[in-house]
Chain A
Amino acid sequence: MSIFYFTIRSTLKDRGFIIILFFVLLYAFIPVFSYFSMRQLQEIAITLSLSLNSFILLLLSLFGAISTIWKDIEKRHAYTILSYPIARWNYLLGRYLGFVFILLIITLLDFTLSVVCIKICSSIYKSELPILWGNIFAAFIFCFLKYSLLLGIGFLFACVSTSFFTPIFSTITIFIAGNSIQGIVDYITKQKAEVSIFIKTVVKILYYVVPNFSAFDLTAYASYSLPLDIKSIMFSIAYFILYLGIIITLSIIVFSTRDLN
């Protein structure tokens, strides 16, 4: 519990975090940008708000594992923190949940700013679509879930490796793969005969190993006010819990057995 609070407090004071936080100011430009599109102001404002939130959370989740686990080991803060009567799993979980809390706070902040932007834009040019605030909020929360998962993956890599670049680049790789895997699978299944069995198997394995991030993308539902499918939402949540559980368990196992030099 103390590690949880400590993580939140020290992240809020961290220079890297504060720099990333400046991107929040870009919300002020969303009404301006949307204005140039003349029509579809509301739809564009919603999409841009979600994209900006996604971008900020991406930076934060790449930063998260570095500013906690990697830094603790590299700068030998771990000697102090882990010489307290705190088990390794407890430390790791505290660090992870503390940073997830930061992601949540930022998501809510972004959501609040988005509400303002969207209201402004929709008042300039009335869209025939209604604004479904529930959908927009759900899209923000799913974005948060997606990056909590990515943060977990970053933690796993930081537990395995001692270098600075491995966790960052591996996480970026997984991020790109996770965003495109659904598209690749869809493409291959449409092609039918022309794709070799080998490639099909590789893609199939990747489909199960790599997190399927497109399942967390509700942008279309939010900006075009489509009805949400409860069943697929529930499925995505179950997928999130299962995947995250495995990632965190693996991280704890790796971290608990490693030497801290």
Chain B
Amino acid sequence: MPLQRKKMEAIEVTNLQKTFKTKGKKIKALDGMSFAVKRGELCGFLGPNGAGKSTTLKVLMDLIKPDKGEAKILGIDSKNCLARLKVGFMPENPQYPDTLTGYELLMLSASIFNIPKKQAQKKAWDLLQAFELKNAAKVPIRTYSKGMIQRIGFASVLIHDPELLILDEPLSGLDPLGRVMFKKKMKELNKEGKTIFFSSHIIPDIEDVCSKVIIVNKGNVVKTLDKNQIKYFSTVGFNVIINSYIDSLCPKKIGDNLYAVYCKKENLISCLDVIRSNRGEIIDIEPVKKSLEEVFVQITQNFI
């Protein structure tokens, strides 16, 4: 029975400790990091800069050796290179050898995974198409824009059809359109059955797509949220946009015949009631989110 349960875990991290020593200074990057990601989950790894997210992911990929603790991916110890057989990893701000073109990068990945050449070529062009990189396929990656590098990086970790994707800040540095595309892609891949674990320090990136969020700070897990908790956990209130001035609500004028009324989460209904009784028309209602800092304050005070 325990064996079967273990098989369900895509990622298992137990009590990781890591201290970096630079110029005589010691920085504790990981301080007892422990968590698990189940197969099939689309899991976010949320925490402010310096929380130890990248360090954890590097330990998972065996790029950094922990002082203590162990990490398993797909049930295999991460120190064993075979653990990475069905994994795709995209580092933070990926860098690729500057002689490679986008197409060559995909073919290099394919050759390392022993994919037959014909099949690899087809898959490579499919991916280039899917990530809108067909025109840039034969151009060196060093001439790519930030968004294009991110896209070719994502494509290159998909060529061997991995079961698990580990992505470090995949959305950072993307323009709004790129973000939408990446989120959509992640959702699709997750629907196809792939487990995805990705880090971010921005709340909206995570709550749109994730089925679970692991929140970390100072090298440790502070909270794990499931799908229902994620949905609205960071909403503090709403901006209700109306088209007429209502005295009792003291709205802010934001345009021609446009006024914004801010109300707290728990006051929304009474606010809407006032608007209705004044025959106001609602143009839009937008949620107002907490900042990551506020979330941490509330977590430590057990509000969430």
Contacts and interface: CB of A to CB of B under 8 A. Distances in A.
Given A2-B111, A85-B83, A261-B64, 7 more contacts: A2-B108, A2-B112, A6-B108, A78-B63, A79-B95, A84-B84, A85-B87
A199 interface: no
A146 B91 CA distance: 38
Nearest to A14: B99
Contacts of A76: 91, 94-95
A149 B95 CA distance: 30
A254 B61 CA distance: 18
B96 interface: yes
Contacts of B96: 77, 80
Interface in B33-65: 58, 61-65
B84 A83 contact: yes
A13 interface: yes
Interface of B: 58, 61-65, 81-85, 87, 89, 91, 94-97, 99-100, 108-109, 111-113, 156
Given A14-B99, A85-B81, A87-B81, A80 B91 contact: yes
A231 interface: no
Interface residues of A, number: 25
Contacts of B97: 10, 75, 77
Contacts of A75: 95, 97
A259 B63 contact: yes
21 contacts: A5-B111, A6-B108, A10-B99, A75-B97, A77-B96, A79-B58, A79-B63, A80-B94, A80-B96, A80-B156, A82-B62, A83-B89, A83-B91, A85-B83, A85-B85, A85-B87, A85-B112, A86-B112, A87-B81, A90-B81, A258-B65
Contacts of A82: 61-63
A260 interface: yes
Contacts of A13: 99
B109 A84 contact: yes
B65 A257 contact: yes
